């Protein structure tokens, strides 16, 4: 049996789950990030080489969920709600209060939603059972997502793109594109070298 994985400087008395694979060069600020981590997959989370997750980041991962954080990616205080799969690419920058959600966890239909809330009230942990279909999110390499943005189920954000602060992303974003607004609209195109078109 292995020793519990704690963080020496952590203010929270938690542990890193056994199915969370954290590269030895990665930085996890607190085990509180795993307070809502319920993945039962063999690998429910992978944090790559040189990646960082800072205070306020929450891995709200259901039993069938899997999250991967790419090499040298930085996640600063985001809420990651995952019941299927969320991929964050290498060198991605995810700002504070960003929400990435591959599931809504409750039905859109009001009657079905009421039944789901009644079931949650009877659940031992009083949580939603994640019975709603989830649709994976893919965040490409070198993507920057500004603070308070929300990325909804099924969205892919292409390599090198920028999502403006407080943007709600409901559709996939092409590579090297700047989007902003609610819902997200294309503001401009970028080149692979970073020059504006």
Could you read off the pLDDT tens digit of each residue along the chain, which spans 197 residues? 457 899 999 999 999 999 999 999 999 999 999 999 999 999 999 999 999 999 899 999 999 999 999 999 999 999 999 999 999 999 999 999 999 999 988 888 899 888 888 888 887 777 765 566 899 999 999 999 999 999 999 999 999 999 999 999 999 999 999 999 999 999 999 998 755 55
62, β-bridge pairs: none
- Given the candidates 3.90.550.10, 3.40.50.200, 2.160.10.10, 3.40.50.2300, the CATH classification of the domain at 20-106+133-189 is 2.160.10.10
- Of 98, 181, 86, which Cα lies nearest the Cα of 137? 86
pLDDT at 1: 41
H or E, element range at 118 = helix 110-122
Instruction: Map out the domains of the chain as residue ranges.
Output: 20-106+133-189
Q: Which helix (H) or strand (E) holds 99?
A: strand 99-101
Which residues make Cβ contacts (< 8 Å) with residue 96, sequence separation at least 6? Answer: 56, 76, 77, 78, 147, 148
- CA nearest to 29, candidates 60, 53, 50, 51: 53
Instruction: Give pLDDT, residue 115.
Output: 84
Residue 139 β-bridge partners: 88, 157
Chain-centre distance for alpha carbon 106: 18
Closest CA to 53 of 100, 85, 4: 100
Please, which residues have CB within 8 angstroms of residue 12's CB and are 6 or more apart in sequence? 30, 31, 32, 35
- Asked if 82 and 65 count as a contact pair (C-beta separation under 8 A), the reply is yes
Cα separation, 114 vs 168, whole angstroms: 26
């Amino acid at each position: 049996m292995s020793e519990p994985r704690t963080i020496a400087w952590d203010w929270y008395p938690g542990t890193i789950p056994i199915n969370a694979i954290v590269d030895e060069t990665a930085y996890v600020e607190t085990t509180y990030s795993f307070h809502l981590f319920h993945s039962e997959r063999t690998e429910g989370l992978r944090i790559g080489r040189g990646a960082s997750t800072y205070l306020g980041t929450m891995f709200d991962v259901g039993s069938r969920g899997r999250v991967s954080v790419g090499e040298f990616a930085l996640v600063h205080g985001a809420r990651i709600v995952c019941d299927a799969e969320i991929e964050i690419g290498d060198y991605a920058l995810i700002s504070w209060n960003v929400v990435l959600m591959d599931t809504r966890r409750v039905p859109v239909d009001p009657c079905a939603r009421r039944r789901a809330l009644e079931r949650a009230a009877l659940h031992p942990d009083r949580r939603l059972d994640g019975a709603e279909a989830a649709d994976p999110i893919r965040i490409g390499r070198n993507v920057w997502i500004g603070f308070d943005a929300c990325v909804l189920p099924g969205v892919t954000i292409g390599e090198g793109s920028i999502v403006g602060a407080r943007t709600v992303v409901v559709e996939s974003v092409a590579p090297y594109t700047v989007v902003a607004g609610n819902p997200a609209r294309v503001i401009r195109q970028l080149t692979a070298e970073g020059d504006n078109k």
